Structure 1
Amino acid sequence: MGMAGFTIALMMIGVIISPCVYGKEFSDHQEIEVEKLLKLLNKPARKSIKSEDGDIIDCVPIHSQPAFDHPLLKNHTIQMRPSFIPESTSMYIKTNPTQVWHKNGRCPENTVPIRRTKKEDILRSKSNESFGKKTTSSVPEDNLSNNHEYAIMNSRRGKYFGTKFLVNVWKPEVQVRSNEFSLAQTWLASGDGANINTIEAGLQVYPDIYGDNNTRLFVFWTNLGLESCD
């Protein structure tokens, strides 16, 4: 899918301390709301695979994935291949990365692997509404007071159709402090201020979200300046 018009491409490696504080106490009513959210997020799967690290991977039909619950994607036609490949990507080398859960099986064709959301995942968030979202800025700022440390390479001019990057997969040890995490990612951004929109993908270690120190793949996107991610 082409992404012409994006005006900023960033590759970022850093350690970030988020200012959010995630609550631990939930009322009975909130417990019911958590169960409703789990039913909404965990779509019926054709196959489920138990990973040795404790995760359950659900193989969800490609048209049933949670992204298509969004009103803007109603009746969306999935484009399995790009309509064209820019000359600049001619050096692209296709790889077949593996993950821990692959030891116990693979998802069938026309399904997508989705890590099953557990009750504990939601309880680690500040609220049901904030689950899966971030409240920090979507573009790095030159502000030492925000407790963010960055190492960035970026390009701010030109017409972009996408982004790619190579990154080593590490398992960094983050300190035992609330909301600290480490990530490496590629980043496309368009717009300014409250109208900023981004598409991001990379690897992160984030105990407050995942409940462990494992390195995990993540994707993040915004809708009209509103934060959401998977």
Structure 2
Amino acid sequence: MMTVNMFSRFVVVLCVVVAARVSYAVRHEFEIVTHLNRLNKPSMKSIKSPDGDIIDCVHISQQAAFEHPSLKNHKIQMRPSYHPEGNNFESMKVSSQNHQTITQLWHSNGKCEKGTIPIRRTKKEDILRASSIKKYGKKSSLHTVAQPNSVDLDLINQSGHQHAIAYVEGEFYGVKATMNVWDPQIQQSNEFSLSQIWLLGGSFASDLNSIEAGWQVSPDLYGDNNTRFFTYWTSDAYQATGCYNLLCSGFVQINNEIALGASISPISKYHGSQYDISVLIWKVCS
């Protein structure tokens, strides 16, 4: 009798443990689906890219930026009210070296109409590669580097990074960089390589404001070794705010040709044709 009683208790405990695991799995799946529905906005049409990406053409007013309370009544400004001297709105769409329109792989299969913006569709496996749903699209501590004024301009090794930085300090109203576009080989999924322009303000300790843009190869974020155009921002030193591309409220996109996070094409080749992108960031004076 004692043996039967102990066995019954074991079965009850086992059932409770299994039920708890099933409950967690269902809840986790629900959270992923909810997050995907929040990120992937209803589209006017969708374009299948040769690299497997799906580019959704989303109405410009439906992008994630307008979920932020500060942009609730924001009026979309389709053209900047001010242009830096020597630059105009149309010239920013052209590669400075080759005088060709900047292209991405998905362009070969279609385009988004005016009034919409192209957004790379987030897939379930994208979120699963992140350490948590909350951290998807955000930089980890390994992705941040030492404060520029504390490093030399030589190649260094800091917190798992090897990087070269050229920087200038002062009060500026705009910056511009032209970057040769390559496809560096990534050995492990948690490695990444990038070339970017980085506009900083404040302190790395707590209140850093950062705007970043350029190209990157990041299997951990995108699931492949493609060279992709990206942006990033933070207003509190990467602690709680900010994200890549359009994965949270932040950037307001008006361009219907460039998808943030999408693959760049063509790519420079050793002893072959060279391609570059130019990134211009400036403060629009009111």
Q: TM-score, normalised by structure 1?
A: 0.81
1:167 aligned residue (149, 169, 179)? 179
Q: Does 1:149 align with 2:188?
A: no
Q: CA deviation at 1:71?
A: 2.0
Partner Cα separation in structure 2 for residue 175 and residue 157 of structure 1 = 38
Partner Cα separation in structure 1 for residue 64 and residue 212 of structure 2 = 17
Which stretch of the first structure deviates more once superposed, 35-44 or 79-88? 79-88
Aligned residue in 2 for 1:21: none
Partner Cα separation in structure 2 for residue 159 and residue 53 of structure 1 = 38
Partner Cα separation in structure 2 for residue 117 and residue 224 of structure 1 = 25
Which structure has the higher relative contact order (CA within 8 Å, separation 6+)?
A: 1
Aligned residue in 1 for 2:198: 187
The answer to whether the Cα contact below 8 Å between 1:189 and 1:199 also exists between their aligned partners in 2 is: yes
Aligned residue in 2 for 1:103: 108
Structure 1 SS opposite 2:171: coil
Structure 2 SS opposite 1:114: strand
Aligned partner letter, 2:102: P
Instruction: Decide whether aligned partners of structure 1 residues 201 and 215 sit closer, same or farther in structure 2, where only a CA change above 3 A counts.
Output: same
Write out per-residue CA displacement over residues 64-108 of structure 1, whole angstroms, 9 at most, x where no aligned residue: 111221222221122222212232647x94312111110011100
Aligned residue in 2 for 1:3: none
Q: CA deviation at 1:228?
A: 2.2
Partner Cα separation in structure 2 for residue 144 and residue 168 of structure 1 = 23
Partner Cα separation in structure 1 for residue 164 and residue 68 of structure 2 = 33
2:133 aligned residue (128, 135, 146)? 128
Gaps of 5+ in 2: 1-23, 95-100, 246-286
Q: CA deviation at 1:138?
A: 5.0
Aligned partner letter, 1:81: R
Q: TM-score, normalised by structure 2?
A: 0.66
Aligned residue in 2 for 1:229: 244
Gaps of 5+ in 1: 1-25
The answer to whether the Cα contact below 8 Å between 1:124 and 1:209 also exists between their aligned partners in 2 is: yes
Q: CA deviation at 1:150?
A: 1.3
Q: CA deviation at 1:223?
A: 3.6
Instruction: Decide which structure has greater strand share.
Output: 1
Aligned residue in 1 for 2:68: 70
Identity %: 51
Number of aligned residue pairs: give it: 202
Aligned partner letter, 1:66: A
The answer to whether the Cα contact below 8 Å between 1:198 and 1:221 also exists between their aligned partners in 2 is: yes
Partner Cα separation in structure 2 for residue 223 and residue 27 of structure 1 = 34
Partner Cα separation in structure 1 for residue 224 and residue 158 of structure 2 = 27
Aligned residue in 2 for 1:22: none
Aligned partner letter, 1:44: P
Partner Cα separation in structure 1 for residue 236 and residue 194 of structure 2 = 24
Aligned partner letter, 1:228: C
Aligned partner letter, 1:188: L
The answer to whether the Cα contact below 8 Å between 2:145 and 2:158 also exists between their aligned partners in 1 is: no
Instruction: Decide whether aligned partners of structure 1 residues 145 and 83 sit closer, same or farther in structure 2, where only a CA change above 3 A counts.
Output: closer
RMSD, aligned α-carbons: 2.0
The answer to whether the Cα contact below 8 Å between 2:145 and 2:161 also exists between their aligned partners in 1 is: no
Partner Cα separation in structure 2 for residue 122 and residue 206 of structure 1 = 14
Write out per-residue CA displacement over residues 84-136 of structure 1, whole angstroms, 9 at most, x where no aligned residue: 2232647x943121111100111000111000000000000011110111123
Aligned partner letter, 1:214: N
The answer to whether the Cα contact below 8 Å between 2:208 and 2:235 also exists between their aligned partners in 1 is: no
Aligned residue in 2 for 1:203: 215
